[in-house]
Amino acid sequence: MRARRTRLVAALAASVALVLSACGGGGGEDQLSGPSVDVEVDQDAQFEPGTTMAELNQRGTIRIGTKYDQPLFGVRGLDGQMQGFDVEIGRIIAGKLGIPPDRIQWVETPSQTREEVLEQDKVDMVIATYTINDNRKQRISFAGPYYEAGQDLMVKADDNTITGPESLRPTGAKVCSVTGSTPAEEIKKYVDPANLVLFDVYSKCADALRTGQVQAVTTDNVILLGLAEQSGGQFKLVEKPFTEEPYGIGIKKGDVQFCEFINQTLTEAAQSGKYEQAWRATAGKVAQQTPQLPQLDPCV
Ligand code: GLU
C-alpha cells in the first residue's frame, strides 16, 4: 500500500543532471540527459517484488533504446540533449518508475538492431518509431500502440513526377530506406531491387536525396516530416500514406506485467494531458493534428 505519494517536477531533476554529468555520468555511446517538458517523478513508487518495474525502480536508472537522428521523434543534439516524442514517452514511463529524466540512459538504436538489443539485454525498452507487427512479436513483445503513422515518400521540393508509390517504377526513380524497417520491405512491391538503396539510418537517405543519388526517401510520414522540416524547404512529402504503422514500445518477450504497467502509464498520461503536452512540445511543433492515444493492444 502506498502511504504517501510525493511528486517531484523534473525541473529539479535537471539541476541534478548537471551535477551528475560533472561527476562523469554517461560516456561511450550512451547518454544521460535532462528533460524538456515537465515530467512527474513518482518518488514513492512501489512494485511487486520480482517484477521488471521493481527491479528498475530499485536500480534507479533505465536504459532506453531510441533513434538519434530523427527530428520530432528521437534526436540527440550536439549538446547531448535528447528530444522528440519518443524521448518524452520514455521520460513519462521512467517517471512512473520513480526514475528522473537525468537517470535515463539513452542508447542509440537504429532500426535493424531493435530486436537484438532487447534479446541481448542491452536495453530495458525500445521507443524508436517501432511498428508493431507479428514478425517482430516472435522475438519481442510490445506495449502500446502510442501513435499511428503511415508510410509515405519524400522528394525534392521541385519534383512533380513522383506522386505516389505507383509512380516510382515508371519514372525509374531510385528510392532510399533503412535496413530492418517495415517501409524497406513494403517498397519492394513498387521498385526493382537495383533501384532500392538501403542505409542504417534515415539521415543518410536525406543526404542521398540532397546530392541526387536517389530521387525519393521512403519511411513513416512523421519521420519524413521531421527530415523535410530540417531541410529548410529543399524536400517535401508526397502526402499519400499507403500503410499503417502503429508504434509500440518494445520490451523483452513475454513480460506481460511490464507491458500492462506501460499501457496503464500511457492511459494515465492521456487522461492527465501529459501525452498531449509531450506531443505539442515535440512533433506537434510541425505536425498539423494532435493525435489521441490509440486503442491499446492487450498484453500477451
Ligand atoms: N515504423 C517503421 C519500422 O518500425 C519505420 C521507422 C523506423 O525504421 O524506425 O520499421
Q: Which domains does the chain have, with CATH numbers?
A: 52-148+246-285 (3.40.190.10), 150-243 (3.40.190.10)
Of 181, 203, 221, best ligand 1 pocket probe by most atoms within 8 Å of the beta carbon? 181
Q: Measured from the CA of 181, which atom of ligand 1 is nearest?
A: 10
In angstroms, rounded to a whole number, what is the distance separating the alpha carbons of residues 284 and 292? 12
Phi, psi (5° rounding) for residue 5? -135, 95
Tally Cβ neighbours within 10 Å of residue 188.
Answer: 13
Cell numbers of 134, please?
507479428
* Ligand 1 atom index nearest CA of 70: 9
User: Is residue 218 within 6 Å of ligand 1 at its C-beta?
Assistant: no
Digit-coded pLDDT (tens) for 259-272: 999 999 999 999 99
Q: Which residues contact 3 (CB under 8 A, 6 or more apart)?
A: 44
Atom of ligand 1 nearest to the CA of 131: 4
Q: What is the pLDDT of residues 135-192, one digit of tens each?
A: 999 999 999 999 999 999 999 999 999 999 999 999 999 999 999 999 999 999 999 9
Q: In 3D, which of 107, 100, 104 has the Cα closest to residue 76?
A: 107
130 in contact with ligand 1, CB cutoff 6 A: yes
Residues of the chain with pLDDT under 70: 1-36
Q: Is residue 182 in contact with ligand 1, taking CB distance under 6 Å?
A: yes
